[in-house]
Structure 1
Amino acid sequence: MSMSFDPFSQLDRIAQSVFDTSRQPRIMPVDLFREGDQYVLNADLPGVDPGSVDVDVDGHLLTIRAIRSAANQENVRWLAQERPFGAYLRQFSIGDDVNAQGISASYDNGVLSVVIPIAERAKPRKIAVESASENRRRSVSA
């Protein structure tokens, strides 16, 4: 199998070795949307061991951490090694309108799903409108 020479990838490898970017936390791509009375966050973490995934909430900060280990293959001569490994980190600021106690997470097929329920106090509610004539009738009959 032959690989064509790509000068930009060579420069990237040199920059990685000089600036040691392999130790910097990787950013994970996410989708975030509201569905009914909850927010759903889906984060791509392919090849990550589910045991290394950590989701925590501290006040108004939701933090997701994960580690993807490097391939431990001895006596191989790499022709290409482009799949990133190392630490992944993503943080989100959450407001008062969520129920932090009800947050749940699951990991399936390389996708971490975090469900963030909306707090009862933040849900829309209907307010009854009374007419002035009803208020007068009640005060006369009382």
Structure 2
Amino acid sequence: MAQEVTTTRKRDVARTNGGEPSTAAPIYLPDTDIYETVDHIVLVADMPGVAPGDVDVTLERRVLTIRGKVPTEAHDGYKRLYAEYGEGDFERVFTLSEEVDRDHIEASHKNGVLTLKLPKAESAKTQRIEVKAA
């Protein structure tokens, strides 16, 4: 039903402010689980540090793109001695089959986890065919 297009864990991109290049920052692929029910495909993406208002979900043709912007935290008065936590935004791209009802997709965000509910089109649902005695 859904197929992953992007395969790298992170990539560096040049951030721009009004066309001016600035420092490169990593773009992370959020860890994602995909489940299937009788009526839906459910996509769950982990985006820690992303507020609900900083999530962007777009669907263009069959390409579903999810993005999450993480605000940069400035620690005034501190000098970084050691860091394991990488700061960066999230992005993931999926190609959907034609069997998704694109007009009824639902998105919710709670505690840094984005959940997308992709309803199956009627033509994609399992159909029981009655067998009649001849």
Question: TM class by shorter-chain length?
Answer: 0.7 to 0.9
Q: Given the two structures, how large is their TM-score scaled by the length of structure 2?
A: 0.76
Q: How does 1:1-142 map to 2 (within 5 A)?
A: 23-132=25-134
Kindly tell me: are residues 35 and 126 of structure 1, through their superposed partners in 2, closer, same or farther at Cα, counting changes over 3 Å? closer
Q: Which whole-Å CA distance do the structure 1 matches of 2:43 and 2:114 have between them?
A: 8
Greater fraction strand: 2
Unaligned runs of 5+ in 1: 1-15, 133-142
More deviation, 41-50/76-85 = 76-85
Q: Please tell me whether the aligned partners of residues 66 and 91 of structure 2 are also in contact (alpha carbons under 8 angstroms).
A: yes
SS at match of 1:23: strand
Q: Please tell me whether the aligned partners of residues 60 and 95 of structure 1 are also in contact (alpha carbons under 8 angstroms).
A: yes
Report the residue type matching 2:121 in the other structure. A
Q: Given the two structures, how large is their TM-score scaled by the length of structure 1?
A: 0.72
Cα deviation for residue 126 of structure 1 reads 2.0
Q: Deviation above 4 Å: which 4+ runs of structure 1?
A: none
Report the residue type matching 1:34 in the other structure. E
Alignment root-mean-square deviation, CA: 2.1
Q: Which whole-Å CA distance do the structure 2 matches of 1:24 and 1:71 have between them?
A: 15
Q: Which whole-Å CA distance do the structure 2 matches of 1:43 and 1:22 have between them?
A: 24
Per-residue CA deviation, residues 80-121 of structure 1 (Å, 9 max, x unaligned), is 222222221100110011111111111111111111111111
SS at match of 2:50: coil
Q: Please tell me whether the aligned partners of residues 67 and 91 of structure 2 are also in contact (alpha carbons under 8 angstroms).
A: yes
Unaligned runs of 5+ in 2: 1-11, 13-22
Q: Please tell me whether the aligned partners of residues 26 and 87 of structure 2 are also in contact (alpha carbons under 8 angstroms).
A: no
Q: Which whole-Å CA distance do the structure 1 matches of 2:51 and 2:126 have between them?
A: 39
Cα deviation for residue 55 of structure 1 reads 0.6
